[in-house]
Amino acid sequence: MTPAPTCPPVPSGATDPATHRTPSFFHSSAREGFAALLDVVLEGRPDGDRGVLLPAFVGWSPREGSGVFDPVQSSSAEPRFYATQDDLTVDPDIVEGALAAGGVAVLVVIHYFGRTDPSLPRLRALADEHGAVLVEDLAHGFFSARAAGEAGRHGHAALFSLHKMFPLRDGGVLTCRDPQLAVGMTSTRPDLAAALFDVDWRSVADHRRSVWTELVVRLQALPGHGTDFWLPWTSLCDDVPQTLPVVLLHADRDAVYHGMNAEGFGVVSLYHTLIGPVRDAFPAEVLLSTRILNLPVHQDVPVDALPALVECFARHMEAASTTS
């Protein structure tokens, strides 16, 4: 009789806390979590090996500063930047060249507006090849990562900004898929964890996707689509949007922004002003920052308000084009 093969014991329930664990640390902001991560990654690294490689489309405001750049600037890191494509996705060949120059400790990819960057798997491979820590900035992508597809699954670490996606005054999360990055870390705002489970993530994701989809259809039906404005993002795939970006080609973006907000439509501009270090070196990103407008698609947007929102957008865009 053939003896039964030996195997490890199979418990009746999950008992190993290390299985598929991604340690998570709650902070007052994502930038606080990023600062803690940089302290870990850069500790002991010599000068010349402290590069933090960021996309050049990084915003700044006098009230909030820059969420992703301020921690870099305040650390011992050497900030470096790479150009983005017209739709703000990553050209991995550009990143590969920047990594090949050497000295990059951290590679940051920003999932703008909640859209998963399509080059994410290759970016992880490049980071591993060159000994860099890949950080996924998911300030706009909590639901894309937690209720959808590939976002947040490839980086050694990920950053989330809670107040941009939930009805919270503040809050950020750092998650570490590489457990070595989590050694010695602690949460400074553990109370925030409970707030996340007061929200039905799937319902929020479904509502955001529905609003975004209808807005895209209505905007594409406008006569100015493709000539007066264009949409850098028109296919959701598995993602959950934070906003719907629109790029104005002729109209004064600021005039459209102020006009729509005056009528009660809460549009924003991500990012209307770029950080100083990129303003001279990346003219395409600077130009985009003067043209981009973001329409709301969050869970408080009533679907029946979308016809009026699109009408308001078209009207102010036409008026701003006439006076610009």
Does 283 lie in the same domain as 238? yes
Over 60: is that where the pLDDT of 308 sits? yes
Does 147 lie in the same domain as 41? yes
Mean pLDDT to the nearest integer, 211-216 = 98
Cβ count within 10 A of residue 194: 9
Reported as a pLDDT band with limits 50, 70 and 90, residue 115 is very high
Number of domains the chain is built from = 2
Q: What is the pLDDT of residue 11?
A: 81
Cα–Cα nearest to 139, from 101, 167, 109: 109
Kindly state the percentage of the chain with pLDDT values over 70.
97
Which of 161, 196, 231 is the C-terminal boundary of a domain? 196
Over 90: is that where the pLDDT of 49 sits? yes
Q: What is the pLDDT of residue 206?
A: 95
From start to end of 7-128, where are the E strands? 24-27, 51-55, 78-82, 104-110
Over 60: is that where the pLDDT of 129 sits? yes
Give the pLDDT confidence of 260-278 residue by residue, as tens digits: 999 999 999 999 999 999 9
Over 90: is that where the pLDDT of 13 sits? no
Amino acid identity of residue 256, one-letter, is V
Are residues 243 and 297 in contact, defined by beta-carbon separation less than 8 angstroms? yes
Q: What is the pLDDT of residue 1?
A: 63
Does 172 lie in the same domain as 205? no
Q: Does the residue 9 lie in any domain?
A: no
CATH number at residue 206: 3.90.1150.10
Which of 179, 196, 213 is the C-terminal boundary of a domain? 196
Which structural domain, as residue segments, surrounds residue 131?
24-196
Mean pLDDT to the nearest integer, 67-91 = 97
Does 230 lie in the same domain as 177? no
Over 90: is that where the pLDDT of 177 sits? yes
Reported as a pLDDT band with limits 50, 70 and 90, residue 148 is low
Reported as a pLDDT band with limits 50, 70 and 90, residue 92 is very high
Q: What is the pLDDT of residue 181?
A: 96
Rounded CA gap, 116 and 248, in Å? 23
Which of 149, 171, 196 is the C-terminal boundary of a domain? 196
Q: Does the residue 313 lie in any domain?
A: yes
Over 60: is that where the pLDDT of 229 sits? yes
Rounded CA gap, 109 and 58, in Å? 11
Q: Does the residue 87 lie in any domain?
A: yes
Does 307 lie in the same domain as 239? yes
Question: How far does CA 201 lie from the centroid of its chain?
Answer: 18
Does 234 lie in the same domain as 177? no
Cα–Cα nearest to 181, from 121, 109, 138, 132: 132
From start to end of the chain, where are the E strands? 24-27, 51-55, 78-82, 104-110, 133-138, 157-161, 172-176, 229-230, 243-248, 292-296
Give the mean pLDDT of the chain: 94
Q: Does the residue 17 lie in any domain?
A: no
Over 80: is that where the pLDDT of 8 sits? no
